[in-house]
């Protein structure tokens, strides 16, 4: 029993509700939201230490033992993601202070972000598949409001599509859960794992696992990403950055959790298929990123490439590949938020999204230019930045599992990604500066969160040793789920 | 707008609202051991207020029940979550509930449970949310 586990979920809800009650005190909202994310970060660090010392932590809500009650379970993988989520949200909130505008901020932006955070953290920490569904919904309902917050025409149009896609997916999710319950009679993830292992993963269970894969693929933007580029370019920058960095990653997390803890007995079918999906989304995403000359489109297609790459490492299902997956997932969350914030700042400065109409920004905004350069290199995995280590582990993992095609596609698309972001850099920052009159706007307050994230991506690359230990525990925990099962079920059953 | 002749509706709903509210509270309390509870009790409560809306118009009811229902919902969620935190303070898991028997005057031996507090929170949250939804859809602004 470890009550720390519930804090990343309960605290945002409590603080968010306090904000709803005191709606008009904006400084309180800003202060409380920052304090909450910082607090969650601290809790995550404490949990990481505890997990390192005593293994996976579990909490039975209300004292009802697993598999009958609601269980929260935290392994190193989940807690690492909670930590990164807190950091990214902190930065995006800072960015929102000076970019979002009074109108939107007053209309429950901060409570909604905190509810989203509660949903994301809940998805990471739950040990029960039905609660995963519930937390998904908490997160999605908050995101529905956030995507349409402000009510501009494009936002309303995209939010209709976004809500429709997610409603259909959620009902499929529920159907899949019902199938699983009908077959195995339990919803606790650890208990499911035990039962699937005992019953053997036959064709029927594999079919159900594919249903789950479809559901999570739509949510993660893996292969079924047709809805993603439009939706993610609709909301304001701070919100788009939160979406790009967190929402798809929850889908990725769900795929990794389900296919490492429950459905891992038929690797040659399920994981090969995940590998194929990953390869296809990398290729299609990279093609989109290369083809478009619209800043927002390029960035959103890069989200798809990132998701493909993370799952390529997972498909290899080897220790090195897993290590790469965990590392790259952390890197991707940070660098995607960073790129979206940078992109938003560029659009804010030039008031256009077409990169051919931009020029010479580096003369007036050298810091912004160099930070974009660092982010671009980090995204495509140039050493010594944070993308490099994840990339090398993932490539090694795919080669080790003899998915040579997968590794090669990963490397090839990295080049295309590099081209796509360099295209932005060269068009927006090089060349003659446009006349002074386009500079009506300032970057006051926008650069600080960007600087934090840039520093982080450099630190993650140079100081990989520091978190290597934790990543190792996370990767090992994903491959051998016995520790997780023992912690949740208490060694019984 | 012409006034409809709705004497019967007005007269009946004056009585019906009281009955529905009583029933809502009954549902809420019986929920501890029998079917019922905060969620359904809250919904029945809302049904009574919606009946008032239909009969007397949204403006009049808003004037007589001057509460911001968003805040009601917020308070409800806070109460519910804090009963969970109560368990944590006593070194038990989150959401841990206790109950005991207390000898109250007039009622005699009564069962008191912290789960009821949680249910109060749920009821307030349900009332707050459904009223907010109905009022924002029902409003023509």
The pLDDT tens digits for A152-191 are 899 999 999 999 999 999 999 999 999 999 999 999 999 9
Q: How is residue A89 written in tokens? A: 């949200």
Q: pLDDT band for position A493 (50/70/90)?
A: very low
Residues of A in contact with B85 (CB under 8 A): 10
- Assign A23 to helix, strand or coil: coil
Residues of B in contact with A3 (CB under 8 A): 88, 93-94
Is the Cβ pair A62, B95 closer than 8 Å? yes
Asked if residue B127 is part of any domain, the answer here is: yes
Note the pLDDT of residue A440.
Answer: 61
- Assign A358 to helix, strand or coil: coil
Average per-residue pLDDT in chain A? 91
Greater confidence (A70 vs A444) lies with A70
Q: Which of B67, B91, B95 to mutate to test the interface with A (most CBs of A within 10 A)?
A: B95
Q: For residues A83 and A31, is the Cβ–Cβ distance under 8 A? A: no
Is a pLDDT exceeding 70 seen at residue A299?
Answer: yes
List beta partners, residue A58: A73
Residues of B in contact with A23 (CB under 8 A): 70
Residues of B in contact with A490 (CB under 8 A): none
For chain B, say whether A60 makes contact (Cβ under 8 Å): yes
Chain A nearest CA to B5, separation (Å): 40
Residue A399: CB atoms within 10 A of its CB come to 17
Asked if residue B80 is part of any domain, the answer here is: yes
Chain B nearest CA to A126, separation (Å): 14
- Of A14, A18, A61, which is closest to B94 when you measure between CB atoms? A61
Chain B nearest CA to A110, separation (Å): 14
Chain B nearest CA to A255, separation (Å): 28
Q: How many residues does chain B have?
A: 141
The H or E element containing residue A202 is none
- Assign A136 to helix, strand or coil: helix
| CA A181 – CA A84 distance, rounded (Å) | 32
Is the Cβ pair A14, B82 closer than 8 Å? yes
- Of B71, B81, B96, which is closest to A10 when you measure between CB atoms? B81
Residues of B in contact with A6 (CB under 8 A): 84, 88, 94
Burial grade of B105 (CB within 10 A; 0-12, 13-18, 19 or more): exposed
The H or E element containing residue B103 is strand B99-104
Is a pLDDT exceeding 50 seen at residue B140?
Answer: yes
- Assign B9 to helix, strand or coil: helix
Residue A275: alpha-carbon gap to chain centroid:
19
* Nearest residue of B to residue A59, measured between CA atoms: B93
Note the pLDDT of residue B2.
Answer: 58
Share of chain A above pLDDT 90, in %: 70
Q: Which residues of A469-478 are buried (b: 16+ CB within 10 A; e: fewer)?
A: ebbbbbbbbb
Tell me which of A145-159, A232-246, A373-387, B81-95 is least confident: B81-95
Note the pLDDT of residue A436.
Answer: 59
Q: How is residue B54 written in tokens? A: 């239909």
For chain B, say whether A145 makes contact (Cβ under 8 Å): no
For chain B, say whether A25 makes contact (Cβ under 8 Å): no
For chain A, say whether B125 makes contact (Cβ under 8 Å): no
Is a pLDDT exceeding 80 seen at residue A427?
Answer: yes
Tell me which of A221-225, A295-299, A412-416 is least confident: A221-225
Q: For residues A245 and A336, is the Cβ–Cβ distance under 8 A? A: yes
- Name the domain count of chain B: 1
Q: For residues A337 and A248, is the Cβ–Cβ distance under 8 A? A: no
| CA A72 – CA A67 distance, rounded (Å) | 11
Find out whether the peptide bond into B85 is cis, omega within 30 degrees of 0: no
Q: How is residue B12 written in tokens? A: 């009946």
Residues of B in contact with A131 (CB under 8 A): none
Asked if residue B2 is part of any domain, the answer here is: no
Phi, psi for residue A247 in degrees, rounded to 5: -65, -50
List beta partners, residue A57: A74
| CA A336 – CA A92 distance, rounded (Å) | 11
**Structural domain boundaries enclosing B42:** 7-138
* Nearest residue of B to residue A2, measured between CA atoms: B93
Q: Where are chain A's structural domains?
A: 3-488
Q: Which one-letter DSSP state was computed for residue A262?
A: I
Q: Using DSSP bridges, classify how beta strands B108-113 and B99-104 pair: parallel, antiparallel or unpaired.
A: antiparallel
* Nearest residue of B to residue A108, measured between CA atoms: B70
Nearest to B120 by CA among B87, B60, B90, B80: B80
C-alpha neighbours within 13 Å on the C-beta side of residue A113: 33
Chain B nearest CA to A191, separation (Å): 21
Q: Where are the alpha helices (DSSP H) in A126-188?
A: 129-148, 153-184
Is the Cβ pair A6, B78 closer than 8 Å? no
The pLDDT tens digits for A365-421 are 888 999 999 999 999 888 888 889 999 999 999 999 989 999 999 999 999 999 999
Chain A nearest CA to B58, separation (Å): 23
Chain A nearest CA to B80, separation (Å): 10
- What average pLDDT score do residues A189-212 get? 92
Which residues 90-109 in chain B show a CB within 8 A of chain A? 92-97
Note the pLDDT of residue A260.
Answer: 93
For chain A, say whether B20 makes contact (Cβ under 8 Å): no
Nearest to A273 by CA among A300, A246, A255, A250: A255
Asked if residue B73 is part of any domain, the answer here is: yes
Greater confidence (A66 vs A152) lies with A152
The pLDDT tens digits for B9-61 are 889 999 999 999 999 999 998 887 888 888 999 999 999 999 988 888 888 88
Chain A nearest CA to B28, separation (Å): 21
Is the Cβ pair A10, B94 closer than 8 Å? yes
The pLDDT tens digits for A7-40 are 999 999 999 999 999 988 889 999 999 999 999 9
For chain B, say whether A200 makes contact (Cβ under 8 Å): no
């Amino acid at each position: 029993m470890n009550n720390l586990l519930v804090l990343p979920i309960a605290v945002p809800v409590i603080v968010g509700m306090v904000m709803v009650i005191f709606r008009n005190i904006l400084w309180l909202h800003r202060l409380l939201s920052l304090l909450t994310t910082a607090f969650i970060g601290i809790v995550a660090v404490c949990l990481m230490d505890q997990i390192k010392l005593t293994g996976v932590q579990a909490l039975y809500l209300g004292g009802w033992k697993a598999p009958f009650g609601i269980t929260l379970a935290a392994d190193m993988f989940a807690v690492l993601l909670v930590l990164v989520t807190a950091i990214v949200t902190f930065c995006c909130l800072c960015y929102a202070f000076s970019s979002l505008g009074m109108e939107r901020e007053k209309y429950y932006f901060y409570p909604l972000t905190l509810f989203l955070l509660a949903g994301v953290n809940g998805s990471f920490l739950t040990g029960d598949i039905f609660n995963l569904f519930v937390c998904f919904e908490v997160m999605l309902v908050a995101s529905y409001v956030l995507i349409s917050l402000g009510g501009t025409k494009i936002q309303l149009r995209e939010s209709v599509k976004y809500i429709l896609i997610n409603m259909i997916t959620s009902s499929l999710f529920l159907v899949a859960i019902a199938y699983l319950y009908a077959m195995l009679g339990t919803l606790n993830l650890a208990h499911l794992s035990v039962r699937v292992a005992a019953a053997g993963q036959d064709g029927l269970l594999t079919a159900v696992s594919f249903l789950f894969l479809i559901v999570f693929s739509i949510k993660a933007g893996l292969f079924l990403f047709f809805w993603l580029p439009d939706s993610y370019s609709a909301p304001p920058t701070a919100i788009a950055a939160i979406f790009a960095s967190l929402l798809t990653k929850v889908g990725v997390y769900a795929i990794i959790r389900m296919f490492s803890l429950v459905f891992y007995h038929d690797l040659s079918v399920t994981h090969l298929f995940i590998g194929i999906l990953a390869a296809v989304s990398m290729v299609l995403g990279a093609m989109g990123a290369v083809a478009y000359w619209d800043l927002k489109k390029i960035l959103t297609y890069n989200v798809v490439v990132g998701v493909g790459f993370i799952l390529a490492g997972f498909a290899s299902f080897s220790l090195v590949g897993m290590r790469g997956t965990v590392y790259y997932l952390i890197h991707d969350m940070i660098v995607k938020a960073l790129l979206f914030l940078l992109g938003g700042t560029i659009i804010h400065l030039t008031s256009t999204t077409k990169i051919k109409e931009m020029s010479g920004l580096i003369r007036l905004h050298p810091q912004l230019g160099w930070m974009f350069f660092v982010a671009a290199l980090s995204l495509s995995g140039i050493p010594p930045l944070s993308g490099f280590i994840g990339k090398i582990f993932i490539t090694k993992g795919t080669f080790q599992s003899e998915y040579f095609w997968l590794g090669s596609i990963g490397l090839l698309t990295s080049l295309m990604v590099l081209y796509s972001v360099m295209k932005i850099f060269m068009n927006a920052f090089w060349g003659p500066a446009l006349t002074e009159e386009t500079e009506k706007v300032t970057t006051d307050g926008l650069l600080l969160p960007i600087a934090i994230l840039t520093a982080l991506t450099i630190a993650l690359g140079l100081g990989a040793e520091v978190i290597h230990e934790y990543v190792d525990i996370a990767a090992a925990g994903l491959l051998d789920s016995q520790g997780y099962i023992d912690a949740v079920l208490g060694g019984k059953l | 707008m012409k006034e409809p002749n709705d004497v019967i509706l007005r007269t009946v709903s004056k009585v019906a609202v009281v009955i529905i509210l009583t029933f809502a509270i009954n549902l809420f309390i019986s929920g501890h051991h029998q079917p019922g509870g905060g969620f359904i009790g809250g919904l029945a409560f809302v049904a009574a207020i919606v009946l008032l809306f239909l009969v007397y118009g949204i403006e009049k009811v808003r004037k007589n029940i001057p509460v911001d229902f968003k805040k009601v919902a917020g308070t409800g969620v806070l109460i519910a979550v804090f009963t969970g935190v109560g368990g944590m303070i006593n070194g038990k898991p989150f959401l841990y509930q206790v109950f005991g028997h207390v000898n109250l005057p007039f009622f005699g031996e009564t069962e008191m449970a912290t789960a009821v507090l949680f249910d109060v929170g749920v009821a307030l949250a349900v009332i707050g949310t459904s009223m907010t939804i109905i009022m924002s859809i029902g409003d023509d602004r």
